[in-house]
Amino acid sequence: MTSLTATPSMTDGLSENRVLIVDDDGDFAESLADVLDSHGYRAVTAWNSHSALEQIDVFDPHVALIDLKLGMENGTDLIERMRAQRPSIVCILMTAYAALDSAVQALRNRADDYLLKPLDPQGVLSVIHDAVCRVREVSVAERRERLASVGSLAAGVAHDLNNVLTIVLNETELIEHQLPDQGQGEEIRAGLHSIRASTLRAAQITRNLLLIARGEPTSTPCKNPREVLEELAATLDRSLPPGGRLVCELQIDGDMPLAIGASQLYQVVLNLLVNARDAIRDNGTVVLRGQIAPMPTTSVKRRASSPPASDGVLIKVADNGMGIDPATMQRLFEPFFTTKAKGSGLGLATAYGLVSACGGEMFVESKLGAGTEFAVWIPCATSAEPLRPSGFVLSDKPERRRESSGPQKRSQAVLLCDDDAMILHALSRMLRDLGYDVTQARSLNEAWESWQSDSQSLDLVITDVRLGKERGTELARRVLGLRPDTRVVLMSGDLQSVDTRDPVWSKVTHLQKPFNRAALVAALNGKVKKE
């Protein structure tokens, strides 16, 4: 497998810098291919339009060098046919006619650039380098546009869907708490556990959609990536196919805080390891490597901004499976695209979103019949402080100690505000089961009127962030302005959408929907960290 040093980043979705040379002079084409191969490119040749179009399907080139005269054919006619198959391909015409009108005509015929024969090797390399960079940038822009569209969709559905999932979780656990411990209750409890597990899976899919589009908020930097990688290696080693082998080579010593949370690093690398495991046959090998490294020189980010070469960690996951075909490579990181019989198609897209969110980059290289290598570069954290606010982590285990869950002394009064009537009903039932007195409100004005009329007896305010066209943060601001010692819990199906620059944000407890009974109790008892 070739080195990653000449490989573009995954942010552009490319595996190699592939060049197609189309020229009816076979000796010239082969000699040019040798020059390009010696400089880190992978070049193939074609001698007419028919063979060139076949190579596009098989080889999937990023750049095509096309002779203006292909025997009885015209190279400019080939450009349109190439673009019909690969709209993003960069086409460069080669001509022996050193005349301005030839160049102008070439550009008029949708050529991206032109080269004059006899070719200057350095000039060719410079033009191809610029062309590859252009392909990368276009791919980055297209990917970001697609992910932004997914993000808009996800943000729109997250709130409503997470409301529904919150209802399911809380009603499930409420029923569970009312069941007897023995007999028929156990059979019903088993079914409720299945419902809870499925609900949490649906919640994770919603979260993954948000991760893909704009990255996941993370609590604190991962302090020791080596420990995370060692745990992952041990986990994978137990799930390899018969005769499968794991090679783990970690050159990361001591604490090295990264700009990504430990759980998120775990999720990224686990996805790559599972894909590698699924790709190998019996007696196949998966390789996990980790080392301290600066931002790769081929990085689009580094080339565009030329920042100082800051340290980070480069993690590689390789397998000797069958490799990935060019058509699949083009769609590898599209949300919902998968080649697996059982899969959501969110794994790689989610990993990409997490890595991008922390300023890292991903790389991929694959060769049919030889295997695939993914690499992830994560920058070091600038501090050990929390990076962004995080939501409460759900557990699929119910809160069973009913007697210690609610208020310890008197029955506390709660103002519960949500514009969803079903959420109000479900959470009110749960809160009353925990021993709280509940006052309901479905709007900011209704909640504020209830608070003003009974502010001395209301100990706690729980409100959704989104209240129709109003914001729960405004209710929190008014309440805390009147009684600064009041406990306020803000609920949201998408904590990323909250403006954390709002001063009120640091004065409240945050609760990510959907949440279960245990998460609700933790928030009510002030055990969820305020950031």
Could you confirm whether domain 402-524 is CATH 1.10.8.60? no
Residue 409, phi then psi, degrees to nearest 5: -115, -110
Checking if the pLDDT of 110 tops 80, the result is no
Higher pLDDT, 351 or 395: 351
Domain ranges of the chain: 4-119, 142-214, 225-379, 402-524
**What are 531's two structure tokens?**
């950031």
**Residues 141-179 pLDDT 10s:** 666 666 666 656 666 666 677 788 888 888 888 887 777
Same fold, 4-119 and 225-379: no
pLDDT at 156: 63
Give the CATH fold of the 4-119 domain: Rossmann fold (3.40.50)
**Residues 44-102 pLDDT 10s:** 999 999 999 998 888 888 899 999 888 888 888 898 889 888 887 889 988 876 555 65
Q: Model-level pTM?
A: 0.51
pLDDT at 138: 66
The closest of 305, 307, 222 to 266, measured between CA atoms, is 222
Buried b (16+ CB within 10 A) or exposed e, 450-466: bbeeeeeebbbbbbbbb
Q: Express as a percent the part of the chain with pLDDT over 90.
A: 23
**Residues 404-462 pLDDT 10s:** 445 544 468 999 999 988 889 889 988 998 889 999 999 999 999 999 988 788 889 99
Burial bucket for residue 303 (CB in 10 Å: 0-12, 13-18, 19+): middle
φ/ψ bin of 92: left (φ > 0), alpha (ψ from -120 to 50), beta (otherwise): beta
Amino acid at 356: S
- CATH top class, domain 225-379: alpha beta
Residue 336 CA neighbour count, 13 Å, CB half: 6
**Residues 219-268 pLDDT 10s:** 567 888 999 999 999 888 888 888 889 999 999 876 788 888 887 888 89
pLDDT at 309: 45
- 479 to each of 115, 244, 315, 425, 483, how far by Cα in Å? 71, 61, 48, 23, 6
